[in-house]
Every structure is written in structure tokens, then in C-alpha cells.
A and B are shown apart, each in its own frame.
Chain A
Amino acid sequence: MNRDQLLDAIGNTGESMLKETEQLRLNAAVNDATVTRNAVATTRRPARRKMMILLAACMILLLGTVAAYAAGWIGGRGGRAETGTNEEGEALFKYYPNEDMRVPITAITGNILNCTAQMKENWRILSAGNQLTPYAAPLPDSSSIPFIVSTGFNTVTEAAAYIGYADMVLPQFAQNTAPSYAYVQAIGTDPVEPHALLSAQEPDYLLCWMKLEACYALDGITVYLDNYVITEANEEPRAILSTAISNVPQEVEFVSDTATANNREFVVITEQNIDGSVDEDVVRKEYIWAENKVEYHLSIRYDVNDETTAAAEAIIADWMNSFPNE
């Protein structure tokens, strides 16, 4: 007998014997609870960004202490970035808005408020030992977690209306162009057991975290818009603890810079090769801004040629100029 035969014999385990172990796995955090998003394709191996979101269940490690919140550059808006690596050696960056980003729940007026009822129903289904139906791509899979609910939309305008936060800004190009996809993801928290994936008692979930994501695939350009809103029920004063690349981490690193436009200083994160070289053919950047308690991200990847570069720069300028004048 060899090990292969032994593993084959183990593979013959009956369904009834597997059932109990299956249930343990389904009930626990076996599935990755982080939100993953395919980063834009690159000319080399594709990189995956692992967006470390804050869950009220606090499964994510808090790396270091949260920075003190001082007055911002202009009236508490904006923020600053840090770059580095995480425990696994993956390239990472963190964005710290200049103010506490939590809004009162009363500031949210859209139908997203009904999500908490869906979260409760999800809890009932999972607690009974059943499974949730996974969302169809590109909505992120959260089928083992009762308090994450995603809803798809045809336009960002509809997605923003679904949240109903009056101060959310949408760039013109996003309003005028049909996205490849758009969705809103809502996360709730159980005030009694905020760190439990599956609370022991039926929770009265509170809406604590929302993300509007839209993707635009244009000729040679891929753009992601991500707008984040968090409520007073959120444990932390910012939406995202860190963003990491989880593939071939030794090859890439993040570099932080700023870009000034429209009377604002935007953080710009560039993804580049760890030896300091930059792909001559491809640009991968993320622009970040925080204003009126919304954290705005524009991730863009584009081929470097005259036409595409000009189109990409127009998109970036459109986004930067969409924030209202003083």
C-alpha cells in the first residue's frame, strides 16, 4: 500500500459520515471572509487584491493602532496613506481618512435599510444547517456569512439611490457610461455578539458598512469605482483597514504619492515592480479621497499609448473634478 492508495481510500468515505464534518466547515470561517476583487489584468501574471474589510465580527487583524485623527488639509477632508508589507510579506497599503467616517444611521435613507431583514433570514437558514445560495459572479461570494448582502444594479445612479446617502458624489463618466457591472454590498453587525460569524441567538442586525462598486471596461482601460459609507454601528472609524496583493507578493510593491486637483490633494497609490522598475506598457494606480464621510476610490489600469493614456487621464480628471467646488 502507498500513500496515494491511502488517500484514495479516505476519499471513499461515505456521505453520511462526511455530513457532520461538512456542517462544521460550513458553519465556521473556512471560506475566506475577506472581499476579493480581481485586480485589473496586467501584462504579467494577474495580481489579486485582497481588500481587507472591517467586519463587525472582527476576523481581520488590526495591524498596529489606528492613527489619531487630526484636522485635515481642508476642513477635515482627505487623508493620508501608508505602504508596506503584511505578515505574509504581501504588498499592502492603508488609507487613513482625516476624520471619523461614521455617519448616523438616519443619514441612510435608501432601500438598503431592508438588508437587515435579509441578514436575519440568512441567519435562520444557516442556523438550521442549510446553505445560502451563492451570488452569481461578479457579486462577491458571501454564502457562508449571514450578515453580508449584495445587490446588483444596471447603473451607478440606481446603486447610489439604493443606499440613499445624500452626500455621495458620482463622477460624470460613471453616470453617462453603462458599467460592466455595479453592485452594492451591505454588512451588518450583531450588537450582542459583534464578533460572531453565526450568533447563538437570532441577531437584531444593525447596518454598519456599505460599498458601492462599479466596473468599467473600456478599450485598453479598466476602471473600478468604489465608494464606502460606514455608520455609527461600525466598530472602527474607517471602512478599510488595508489593501493587499495576494499573488506573487514579492514582485510588486505599492508606492504612495499625491495629486492636486480641484482644490484637493488626492492620495495616489501606484503598483510597481519591487525592483523599482515600472512596466513601460501598463499603468496601475488607485486614487483615494474622503469627503463628507464617504471614502472614494478610483482604481485604474491602462495600456500606455497616446490614445489610451489620454482617455485614462480624462477619466481620472473627471473623477477628481466631480467633487463640488467650494
Chain B
Amino acid sequence: MNDMEQSQQLEQVLKKVRLLEQEIGRAVIGQRQVVRDATIALLAGGHVLVEGVPGLGKTLLVRSLAAAVGGVFNRVQFTPDLMPSDISGHIMFDRKSDSFRVRKGPVFCNFLLADEINRAPAKTQSSLLEVMQEQQVTIEGQSFELKLPFLVLATQNPIEQEGTYPLPQAQLDRFLLKVFIRYPSEAEELEMVQQITDASVGDKLDTSAVREVLQPDDILNLQNYTAQLDVDEQIVAYAVRIVRATRDWSGVENGSGPRGSLALLRAARANAVLEGREFVTPDDIKSVAPAVLRHRLKLTADLEIEGYQPDDVLGDILHNVEAPRV
């Protein structure tokens, strides 16, 4: 493939991606970084953990994404009494046919919204481990492949911790990105209030303005394109250096594992695509590193007590790790 063809292909990809972002933007006012991160996860084929206080549009974001892509969207409200089989499915006896049949759970979809994932106990959260990593579900010893693309978008509320079950590290590691959804700016909030309250009863989430601009197959093509992007070995070494630095850094009790390096490169590729480049640069790595690594670090008790966040430590790490030397 020559340079011209590459450029044309990139242009087509960009056109589709920008269309997707534009459609999501019809429902989600502002929150551009969050929309960008969700798009990165979509291109990289990873899952996203969205953290923010209630009422910032976490659910709306996921519904808009599903509406723009046109895949199957399912939502599971995680509660303390939710069982693993409520998510993955189970085998039931059908009296009509006098046989057992599989009842597939809500996980069989393209976009799964795991709302308030930390409200369910660890055993229920763990039911997502297999499906998130291998895109398959095992019910009674029988494996069922999921239709791709498959994306889990989980939300959690950082302020109300009573009656919640913090996600175990193994579960957190499955998420490609952890995204913070913050309060909108005054102008964004004003626009949102006007748009949502105009001729609408109640405050039901409205995604009717979002058009279906992509099909699941388009997403698979975009993911394939992203995965084939060139990455110089210096960039790979840079990503590994950053991840390894998290393991020895002062104030970090547990650093990121090798899955962090893989995730960093995948997300950096997606970021490069969104920036309109056919190659990855150190800036791509640096720009996605906080979202990729913040949930993979466990800070020491001292830092946590003093109110420091993983982002503070990551900022230090990125400021100190040497950039690639070509």
C-alpha cells in the first residue's frame, strides 16, 4: 500500500470516527474528553470504566454510543443481590420441549452498560472477567462466543462508598481506560438544560437525536485498521518504560502489570488515528497514559490518607521518564 492509498484510507477512517463523535455530541453536551476516551476504547477494542458523581451523563454517553453504532445495547443495573447468572445467563428446564435450554444473559450484546458496577458483590463483578478478556461466556461448561464488537462500559460513583464493593485489581485490569466524567462548564450546562427541558416531560434520557451512522461491521473495520498501525520500537520501549516505572515509584504499592503496556500501546494507536496520523508518536503514549494506567496503580496508605490520587503520581512518572531517543 503506497502513501497515497494510506492517506485515503486514513481519511475515510477519520471521517467515520468524526461522524461518530459528532453524533454522540448531539446527546452528550460537552464532556469532549470523555467522548474522545470512549471513542479511543471503541477503536482499540477495550472496555471503559467511567467514574463520576451521579447526573453527569454516564448512562447517556453509553446509550448515545450504542445508538450511533446501531449494535445491540444492554444495560444491567448492578445491585447487591445481583447474581452472576443474571449477567451471563443460565440453563433452564423447558417444560414444553422437556429439555434444558440456555437462557443467554444481557452480556450477549455489542454494548453493555454495567451501571454502578461497584454496587454488586465481587462474585457478580467477576462474572464479567471472562467475557471482557475473551469475548466468550461459559455456561454450565459450554462456551458461547459473543458477536463483535463487544464493549463494556461500566460506571461507578466515587462519593457514596457505603454498601459498595470496590472492584478487585483483576477486574480493574480488564478495563482499557478509566475515565473521569467531571462537572460540565457553565456554558455546557446551560446548553444541556435548555436542550433537555424543551418540550419534554420528566428528565428521561433522550437519545432520539442521535442517528445511526455506523454499523457493527464498520467498527470492526476501524478496529482492524487501528490495530495495524505502525509503531516504532522506540515507542514500544517508551510505553514499557512508563509502565515499569510505576512498579518502582515511591508512593505506589502495586504498579501496573504487563497488561498495562499492552493497553497503553492499543490506546496510543487509537489516539494516533483520531489525531489523523498513520503512526504513533510519544505524544500519543503520553496523552493516553493517565486514562490507561490510573486504575492499575495502587497507592500506599500514606498517600491515600493525604488525599493524593493516582493521577498525581502518574504526572510525576510521566515528567521523569525519559522520552524516546531516535
Check if A and B associate. Answer: no
